[in-house]
Structure 1
Amino acid sequence: DYPAYTMGRAAEMLGTTQGFLRAIGDARLITPLRSAGGHRRYSRYQLRIAARARELVDQGTPVEAACRIVVLEDQLEEAQRINAEHRRASTGPGCC
């Protein structure tokens, strides 16, 4: 989660533009940290999220909608993880 990548390097790694990274930042999908000089810095986790948004945009989804989809996918994954934990706890040793 360390913000090691500059905006230019992040855009290069994703095969996108700095404008795209600014757009998903404006849509609040990711919030890059700022260096002492005020430059945006991205973590690997943020780059994974940005890559998923880029996939959707490349398929024709508007940026704002792509960002919302990525957020909803993340929420669904978290809910499924929590449900799996509850199922394991309720069917564990000593239960029922």
Structure 2
Amino acid sequence: MVSQDFLRQLAGYGLTTAKILYRMPDHPDFLQTYVWQDYDLAPRFPELHRFLDFWRRELDGPLHSITVAHSQLIRPAEIVNVNGVLTLH
């Protein structure tokens, strides 16, 4: 059976990591960090936006900033021509 994550990668999804800084509800002068990671489509990031909408609607800590990193995990293979074979003992 093929994993859902693998199928999403074939559909163009890539691993997305978001570092979310938010203000603590009881101490608004302090920032707390939350790391979110899921497969998402760049550059619109619908899954991340869905999560952030949930955050704004359901959680008390107001968002301060979000840093996003995205990498597609499946890329075309590179073909390298090899001219010889080296055997090590």
Structure number with larger C-alpha Rg: 2
- TM, length-normalised to structure 2: 0.26
Structure ranking higher on relative contact order (CA contacts 8 Å, 6+ apart): 2
More helix by share: 1
